[in-house]
Structure 1
Amino acid sequence: MDLFSHSWSALLGAVAATPDEDFERPSGCSGWLVRDLVCHLVVDAQDVLITLVTPAEGRPTVDAVTYWRLVGPPAGEDPLDALIPRLAAAYGEPRLLKFHLDDVGSAAGRAAELADRTRCVRTRDEVLTAGDYLSAYVLEWTLHHLDLVAHLPSAAGPPAETLGAARAALEEIAGTPFPAVFSDGDALLIGTGRRAPTDAQRAALGDLAAKLPLVLG
């Protein structure tokens, strides 16, 4: 199974199925509405397109796991983070935002299908194979799918296969597995600080609790 395509198609489908009135609801990304998250996905899709046509010479410097950097909690100083809500509001109507994401997102999906996954590409001053780059984005898409449906209880969540793959990636980043009693969704949400653990979950985490949240950048 191509997990990049599977996770991306599921996320695009979930956005398309989101009623317009729900675009004003909060998302799972702190401080962002659903419309802001969808606007961020447009930027992400553009990044995929740009990266896949930016070939690189030399050996990879990162892989699908080490591509992700652990960063501190958002300080509100990232210009792009500040731009996203203003840009999302400028669309005016959710249908325009949906259209743009479908347009750019479909192109990103086709580019991924056509990419030579053994070829090296450059992004963020790093070199990695196109295959590793696309694999890294399975974690991104799955987390943002969880963000999309965080306050939309009737919406479809991420596929089980991509939840499992994203959890495995986050466990590699953490350097240790999450407790077996955690569902994949719980591991991802608690591991990245999107949800606080219950007392029982914190006890199950043991020493891992001190490493959390894993804020990725």
Structure 2
Amino acid sequence: MDLFARSWTALRTAVAGLPDEDFGRPSGCTGWLVRDLVCHLIIDAQDVLITLVTPAETEPTRDAVTYWTVSGTPPTGDDPLDALTMRLAAAYEDPGLLKFHLDDVGSAAGRAARLADPALRVSTRGEVLTAGDYLSAYVLEWTLHHLDLVMHLPDAAGPPPEGLARLRESIERISGAAFPASFSDEDVLLVGTGRRAPTEAETRELGGQASALPFVLG
């Protein structure tokens, strides 16, 4: 729960510090500008609020790792929901409005997370998790999107190191294989999820594991 708060606060703080011109730059998400990614974060924050007030009576069907589905097909940016996000982001026009909305809804999501009972069972996407597992799963979401946010913004602050370490652990559990020790936590996340291609040296170190990449999470 604490790592959720630290990861989410760091991401929102990074967005709040961006100059307006950065919202028109590319993000690490295929086909999305920074403004599109920030709009997606607003939708994510709404999902957190909705899920935390959607209790379930049945046993959990997922945990923090199995919450994610994995495919080997990277997104193209042509998905209808992606297109909707881009149209919605463009409708804001003023980056200040995006910042305001993320701060408003994001702060509420953060408060709801702090108040949630970790043992509470909640329902989302047709599955049941404890609130603790659900929020732990979102550490992965926040950390990956923080990397997406700053990928082409060298002056912006990156995600907390403890979030990167936790995310590496999650990726390795999801994939069922450890990455070479020479890979930094950030390298594992970028290469493992297809956000950048491995170098020739990294491909040699990965060996047969390279053919299984990327792990596209949804």
TM-score (norm 2): 0.97
CA distance in 2, matches of 1:132, 1:11: 20
Match of 2:70 in 1: 70
**Aligned-residue RMSD, C-alpha:** 1.0
Equivalent AA in structure 2 for residue 170 of structure 1: I
Q: How does 1:122-141 map to 2 (within 5 A)?
A: 122-141=123-142
Aligned residues: 217
Residue 89, structure 1, aligned to residue 52, structure 2: no
Equivalent AA in structure 2 for residue 103 of structure 1: D
Match of 1:109 in 2: 110
Unmatched 5+ stretches in structure 1: none
CA distance in 1, matches of 2:78, 2:62: 26
Match of 1:56 in 2: 56
SS of aligned partner of 1:128: strand
CA contact (8 A) 2:74 2:194 kept: no
Equivalent AA in structure 2 for residue 39 of structure 1: C
1:138/1:197 CA distance change after superposition, 3 Å: same
SS of aligned partner of 1:202: helix
CA distance in 2, matches of 1:157, 1:216: 21
SS of aligned partner of 2:48: helix
TM-score (norm 1): 0.98
Match of 1:195 in 2: 196
Query: 1:80 Cα deviation (Å)?
Result: 1.3
Measured against aligned partners, the alpha-carbon deviations of 1:34-73 in whole angstroms (never above 9, x if no partner) come to 0000000000000000000000011110100000001333
Match of 2:181 in 1: 180
Measured against aligned partners, the alpha-carbon deviations of 1:84-125 in whole angstroms (never above 9, x if no partner) come to 111000001000000000000000000000001101000010
Match of 1:15 in 2: 15
Match of 2:38 in 1: 38
CA contact (8 A) 2:67 2:137 kept: yes
Match of 2:28 in 1: 28
CA contact (8 A) 2:30 2:76 kept: no
Query: 1:77 Cα deviation (Å)?
Result: 5.1
Equivalent AA in structure 2 for residue 40 of structure 1: H
Equivalent AA in structure 2 for residue 213 of structure 1: P
Residue 2, structure 1, aligned to residue 2, structure 2: yes
SS of aligned partner of 1:30: coil
Q: Tell me the percent identity.
A: 72
CA contact (8 A) 2:46 2:105 kept: yes
CA distance in 1, matches of 2:150, 2:99: 16
Equivalent AA in structure 2 for residue 83 of structure 1: L
CA contact (8 A) 2:60 2:130 kept: yes
SS of aligned partner of 1:121: strand
